[in-house]
Amino acid sequence: MSSQTSSTWRERLASPLTWHAAGFAVLLLLVVALAVRLGMDWAATNGRSSNALAGKQVELKALELAAAPMRGLDHRVDESRAQMESFLGKRIPPNYSSIAARIGELQVNSGVRLSRVQYSQGAAGNDLTEISMDAGISGSYPQIMRFVNSLERDQMFFVIRAMGLTGQQGGLVNLRLRVSTWLRPADAAASGLPPTPQPGEAQGAPSAAGREGQ
């Protein structure tokens, strides 16, 4: 029986069909292994591609957000320039005389009294030159507040730089007032006003032009 079984196994091993079956099984295992490896590599590659694509999308969005303020910039520049020209035409005085005349009108309308009025001009800028007025102001509290409010609300552009109490007697209040407005550089140069003193410098006596505002 044993010799018969051994003979049967030898016949099977010697049979070409057996070797074909064994070869097919080995090839099948190789194909399965290669398919699994290919699937793993494809999944990894696809994941990296997805991550790279997501990264590019984030970069693109960031660039779009960064570029957003630049869209229509030329139109905004033209609009800003037009607004600036409108402001200069409406609120910047044409010459020094118009400043002094307007201050005089506001003084009369409010009932205050200005004294020691001195005008000066700062360094010329590209578009505007600052004109400073340094003066003493006296009157009742309501009169002074009326004058200050009229300066701040006037069509001519005035900026109150400083206001300090220098004395008080009864209902009369004495203040020192510093106010700024602006002229175009050519108009400021034609005014003949002295330069504005730097901090710590004493301001000299007012020029003939400066005394017109008193």
Residues in the chain: 214
- Rounded CA-CA distance 139/174 in Å is 7
**Which has the closest alpha carbon to 102: 167, 150, 52, 41?**
150
Q: How far apart are CA 135 and CA 203, in angstroms?
A: 12
Together in a domain, 105 and 149: yes
Residue 113's pLDDT band (cuts 50, 70, 90): very high
SS3 (DSSP) at 94:
coil
With tokens 């400021």, the residue in question is 188
Assigned domain for 82 exists: no
- pLDDT above 60: residue 7: no
Residues 143 and 204 in one domain: yes
Q: How far apart are CA 119 and CA 40, in angstroms?
A: 85
**Tens digits of per-residue pLDDT, 128-155?**
999 999 999 999 999 999 999 999 999 9
Same domain, 113 and 199: yes
- Residue 174, helix vs strand vs coil: strand
Same domain, 24 and 107: no
In a domain, 81, yes or no: no
Q: 64, 79, 114 — which closes off a domain?
A: 64
d(CA 132, CA 162): 11
User: Based on the domain organization, do 201 and 122 belong to the same domain?
Assistant: yes
More confident residue, 209 or 176: 176
Closest to 120 (Cα-Cα) out of 134, 136, 102: 134
Q: Is residue 198 part of a domain?
A: yes
Inside any domain, residue 150: yes
Regarding whether 123 and 56 lie in a shared domain, the answer is: no
> What's the CA gap between 66 and 7, in Å, rounded?
85
**167 and 127 share one domain:** yes
Is 190 domain-assigned? Answer: yes
Same domain for 26 and 116, yes or no, is: no
For residue 83, being part of any structural domain is answered with no
- What are the tens digits of pLDDT across the range 42-94? 655 555 666 666 667 767 776 666 766 666 666 666 677 777 777 778 889 99
Dihedral-angle region of residue 25 (phi above 0 means left; psi in -120 to 50 means alpha; beta otherwise): alpha
Report how far residue 96's alpha carbon sits from residue 98's, in angstroms, rounded to the nearest whole number: 5
Quote the pLDDT of residue 87.
Answer: 73
**Cα angle 103-105-106, degrees, rounded to a multiple of 5:** 65
Element (H, E) at 175: strand 172-183
pLDDT of 85: 78
Query: Does residue 194 belong to any structural domain of this protein?
Result: yes
Last residue of a domain, one of 25, 49, 64: 64
Backbone phi and psi for residue 110, each to the nearest 5 degrees, phi listed first: -90, -20
pLDDT of residue 169: 84
Confirm whether 159 is domain-assigned. Answer: yes
Strand partners, 173: 139, 168
CATH number for position 176: 3.30.70.60
Cα of first residue to Cα of last residue in the chain, in angstroms, is 144
Phi-psi domain of 160 (left: phi exceeds 0; alpha: psi -120 through 50; beta: other) = beta
Same domain, 102 and 60: no
The total number of structural domains in the chain stands at: 2
The Cα 142–Cα 73 span in angstroms is 48
Q: Same domain, yes or no, for 104 and 184?
A: yes
Q: Are residues 23 and 113 in the same domain?
A: no
Q: Are residues 188 and 142 in the same domain?
A: yes
Q: Which domain holds residue 16?
A: 2-64
